Amino acid sequence: MTLTKTEPLSVKFGMGIHEFDDEGRMITCEFSDFNVINVYFPNAGEGLKRLDFKLSFNKAFEQYVNSLPKPSIICGDFNVAHEEIDIARPKDNVNHAGFTPQEREWFHHFLGMGFVDTYRMFVKEGGHYSWWSYRFHAREKNIGWRIDYCVISEKLKDRVTSADILESVMGSDHAPVTLDIT
């Protein structure tokens, strides 16, 4: 969700690709000097049944973002724990949806194209997560995954004043992630 006191110059739903846009995964709000993109990446699914679909979405998303003339603020559920510190039990979850080498490699590649994981600008250690299973009291035990991100174009990096995960906010299996820029 985007809450703004400034009316966007434009609002676009999806990225213009029917097979992805049918699932209602993305909103782009254009402002004078940047875009805000809210996105819900596909989950690779049980048995990785949708891994190919997710990787296709990732590639299309990458092309879409790179086609925009303004820098971007991208927030949402990327459905991938990027590094081992982003998941409570990395060795137990290798090759599970959200922690496959392909998903992690794509995210690493995406960041390498000139994007910044804003949370890691401020917090370098693990143990901080944005999603916990409803099963086995995972949240109480902090057995979670960091799969929700605010990622920005490198050009906006100096404008970031804070980024956080509001781990104590209850009501969902996800915790809100925040980003403040000037």
Annotated catalytic residue: which of 21, 22, 52, 77? 77
180 as an active site residue: the answer is no
Place of tokens 């679909």: 53
40 as an active site residue: the answer is yes
Annotated catalytic residue: which of 21, 22, 33, 40? 40
Report how far residue 23's alpha carbon sits from residue 76's, in angstroms, rounded to the nearest whole number. Answer: 15
Query: Closest by alpha carbon to 165, among 152, 178, 174?
Result: 178
Residues labelled catalytic: 40, 77
